[in-house]
């Protein structure tokens, strides 16, 4: 759902997400989100 969001902030976050196929796997998403969370905590 978030990938198709019209919110500019969400779309900006998606530009930082690099995945192998046409759609991210759940594992790729979890790892990306974890890294994003850790960066925002600091």
Digit-coded pLDDT (tens) for 1-42: 777 889 998 888 888 888 888 888 999 989 998 998 998 887
Q: Which two tokens stand for residue 8?
A: 């500019």
Please report the pLDDT score of residue 38 as a whole number.
Answer: 92
Say how far apart CA 8 and CA 35 lie, in whole Å. Answer: 20
pLDDT given for residue 31 in this prediction: 93
30 with 37: CB under 8 angstroms?
A: no
Residue 30 has a pLDDT of: 93
Q: SS3 of 6, please?
A: coil
- Position 14 scores a pLDDT of 84
For the chain, the C-alpha Rg in angstroms (whole number) is: 11
Predicted confidence at residue 39, as pLDDT, reads 87
For the full predicted model, state whether its pTM sits above 0.95: no
């Amino acid at each position: 759902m978030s990938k198709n969001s019209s919110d500019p902030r969400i779309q900006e976050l998606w530009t930082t997400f690099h995945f192998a196929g046409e759609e991210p796997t759940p594992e790729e998403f979890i790892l990306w989100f974890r890294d994003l969370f850790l960066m925002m905590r600091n």
